[in-house]
Amino acid sequence: QAQLVESGGGSVQAGGSLRLSCAAYGYTGSSFWMGWFRQSPGKEREGVATIWNDGSSTDYADSVKGRFTISRDNYKNTVHLQMNSLKPEDTAMYFCAFRYGTFRYGMSRLQPRDYNIWGQGTQVTVSS
C-alpha cells in the first residue's frame, strides 16, 4: 500500500507563494495519479491539481489555474505544488492523494472520491 508524506505549507500574506511537496512510498508499477486536494472548515474537500505518474498530464481546478503549478520529480517519487499569488480563499488544509489506474476519457480527475490513499494534510493559511 502506498504511503504519502507531505511537507511545506504554513502562513503567508496574500500575494505570496508557498510550495507543497508529497513523497510517495511503497507503491508499485507506473500507472497512477497523484494530486492535491483541500478542505476548509464547513466545506467539502475539493480537487486542486492532479498529475499522471510521468507528469505528462495534469488537471487544475479553475480557481487555481494560472497561479498553481503541479509537477513531479520521478527520481524522488515526489509531487510538488507551487502556489503563487495566494489569496485568502486559498486558506485550507491541503491533502496529497494517490490512486492506481487511469480515468475513462472525459472523466474529471479532480474528484476526491476517486482517490483512495491520502496523506495527513498540511495547513496553508493566507492572510489579507
Residue 81: name the closest of 95, 93, 71 by CA: 71
Cell numbers given for 118: 491520502
Task: Return mean pLDDT, the chain.
Answer: 95
Q: Are 98 and 115 in contact (CB under 8 A)?
A: yes
Cell numbers given for 86: 495566494
- The pLDDT-based confidence of 1 (bands split at 50, 70, 90) is confident
Q: What is the CA radius of gyration of the chain?
A: 14
Phi, psi of 83 (to 5 degrees): -115, 115
pLDDT of 76 strictly over 80? no
Distance CA 108, CA 78 (A): 22
% pLDDT > 90, the chain? 84
